Amino acid sequence: MIVTHLELTDFRNYREVEVDLVAGPNLFVGSNGQGKTNLVEAIGYLSTLGSHRVATDHALIRAGQDAAIVRARLEHAERTVLVEVQLNRSSANRAQVNRVATKPRELPRYATSVLFAPEDLALVRGDPGGRRRYLDQLLVQLTPRLAGVLADYDRVLRQRTTLLKSVRAARVAESQLSTLEVWDERLAALGSEIIVERSALIDRIRPHVADAYRRIAGDDHKADLAVRLSILGDTAPADEGDDDTEDAGTSSTALAPGEVREAFTAALTRVRRQELDRGLTLIGPHRDDLVLTLNGLPAKGYASHGESWSFALALKLAAAATLRADSPLGDPVVILDDVFAALDETRRARLASGIADYEQVLITAAVLDDVPDALRAHTVRIQAGRIVKPGEDA
Ligand SMILES: Nc1ncnc2c1ncn2[C@@H]1O[C@H](COP(=O)(O)OP(=O)(O)O)[C@@H](O)[C@H]1O
Ligand SMILES: [Mg+2]
């Protein structure tokens, strides 16, 4: 899939902008703070309904405005689709496909992208939440239906946790806890589905991660992934707020749905007392982690800066390779935001060759010379939320 035209209204620092994009590499250059990331962030939003920089949509709406609009013309195979999303400050967002109103949640059925940015170092070094988001975003892109399952799980989790908190605050008597069983049931059903889907996905991306890491780092280190499941008693240290000790073993074999459901239910019984004491839902996919290892050692805590960086990039390239192989939309738009500046010549060249054959690649850079020649064929200059026209002074 490629984006051939993008129009933004009151998105970030853009009042109104239109830009044509081509198949192959598109390079956006401009000094810092001019709007390069903002532009590619808009395209990322269409496929993930979120931003890689902020958790809520409000920061995406131009300061002082009530709504932002992202409109794009997409092409897959022979088909052209016009998609549009309106982000509203004080009401629900709205979307259109070919000028017909639809739910924003439908947009990832038409747009697919993978964005890599310096912030992604947190995938390796940061909290489990970022790694769960990585998996869930990819799940939704591969199977849009799962957006609903994830949203339902979040809602059940919030409601169940609220109930646990009321028991803790003695606003609800423990004897009246029959409603908790209803929530347990829902939590285990939805949670098990997410666990099963995530573990199947991990099995799918593992070979791509190993392959991408080898190609970027240029050595024979084996990068691998495993899942850490809270229902099996493996808690992610950062979620517990404990020391960052790498203790629990990891399990990488995909579990059968029935087994997961049983383990989930048994685990809920096991932690019941603790949950009531703490007013928290202590187990479930919201407490799981994706463990990254290099030659069998956990990347978090052991990997050097360069290795961590390569691992983060490998995760994103693996996502792109998986979408290419399995998404009905084919190639995702590969977005590289501000990544070439941080790389030496060798890694620049390796990255360039790793993404060379994707249908469309969007690159941002402050300095043109940081980007390999082969990626400069279509260059757009950006200044203060405007596209600089050819011949115009930058
Ligand atoms: N909601 C917003 N309203 C107005 N300006 C914004 C908004 N969000 C970000 N900006 C501005 O956008 C600029 C950053 O743009 P960005 O795309 O991150 O720059 P870069 O070209 O370095 O990638 C900053 O000047 C910032 O103040
Ligand atoms: Mg930027």
Residue 120 CA to ligand 2 centre (angstroms): 13
Query: Which pLDDT does position 393 carry in this prediction?
Result: 65
Kindly state the tokens that stand for 275.
Answer: 């949950």
Closest protein CA for atom 3 of ligand 1: 62
Measuring CA to CA, how many Å separate 14 from each of 3, 22, 372? 19, 21, 28
List, in order, residues 6 or more apart from 305 with CB less than 8 Å away.
none
Query: Which atom belonging to ligand 1 lies closest to the Cα atom of 58?
Result: 1
Region 122-132: mean pLDDT is: 96
* Domain 1-112+327-394 annotated CATH 3.40.50.300: yes
- Tell me if residue 137 falls in helix, strand or coil: helix
Nearest-angstrom CA–CA distance, 39 and 257: 41
Nearest Cα to Cα of residue 73 among 22, 148, 124, 34: 22
Residue 327 CA to ligand 2 centre (angstroms): 28
Q: Are 48 and 72 in contact (CB under 8 A)?
A: no
116 sits in the region (left: phi over 0; alpha: psi -120 to 50; else beta) called: beta
Q: Is the CB of 36 under 6 A from ligand 1?
A: yes
- Tell me if residue 360 falls in helix, strand or coil: strand
| Site to substitute for ligand 1 among 13, 62, 88, 388, most atoms within 8 A of C-beta | 13
**Dihedral over Cα of 129, 135, 136, 138: its sign:** positive
Q: Which residues pair with 239 in a beta bridge?
A: none
Q: Is the CB of 32 under 6 A from ligand 1?
A: yes
| pLDDT score of 1 more than 90 | yes
Q: Which ligand is nearest to the CA of 33?
A: 1
Nearest-angstrom CA–CA distance, 319 and 120: 13
Domain residue ranges of the chain, discontinuous segments joined by +: 1-112+327-394, 119-320
The interaxial angle of helices 128-142 and 305-326, nearest 10 deg, is 20
| pLDDT score of 202 more than 70 | yes
Q: Which ligand is nearest to the CA of 65?
A: 1
Q: Are 299 and 124 in contact (CB under 8 A)?
A: yes
Domain 119-320 in this protein, CATH class: mainly alpha
| pLDDT score of 296 more than 70 | yes
Query: Which pLDDT does position 365 carry in this prediction?
Result: 98
Q: Is the CB of 59 under 6 A from ligand 1?
A: yes
Q: Is the CB of 316 under 6 A from ligand 1?
A: no
The interaxial angle of helices 257-278 and 146-168, nearest 10 deg, is 30
Q: Are 282 and 271 in contact (CB under 8 A)?
A: yes
Share of the chain above pLDDT 90, in %: 82
Q: How confident is the model at residue 79 (pLDDT cuts 50, 70, 90)?
A: very high
- 85-99 pLDDT, tens per residue? 999 999 999 999 999
Query: Which atom belonging to ligand 1 lies closest to the Cα atom of 364?
Result: 23
Query: Which pLDDT does position 389 carry in this prediction?
Result: 87
Q: Is the CB of 62 under 6 A from ligand 1?
A: yes
Residue 366 CA to ligand 1 centre (angstroms): 14
Closest protein CA for atom 24 of ligand 1: 33
Nearest-angstrom CA–CA distance, 30 and 379: 10
CA 284 to chain centre: 19
DSSP 8-state assignment for residue 174 = G
Q: Are 309 and 316 in contact (CB under 8 A)?
A: no
- Tell me if residue 1 falls in helix, strand or coil: coil
Residue 139 CA to ligand 1 centre (angstroms): 29
- The reported pTM is 0.92
Query: Which pLDDT does position 242 carry in this prediction?
Result: 40
Share of the chain above pLDDT 70, in %: 94
| pLDDT score of 253 more than 60 | no
Q: Are 201 and 142 in contact (CB under 8 A)?
A: yes
Nearest-angstrom CA–CA distance, 54 and 300: 23
Nearest-angstrom CA–CA distance, 254 and 223: 19
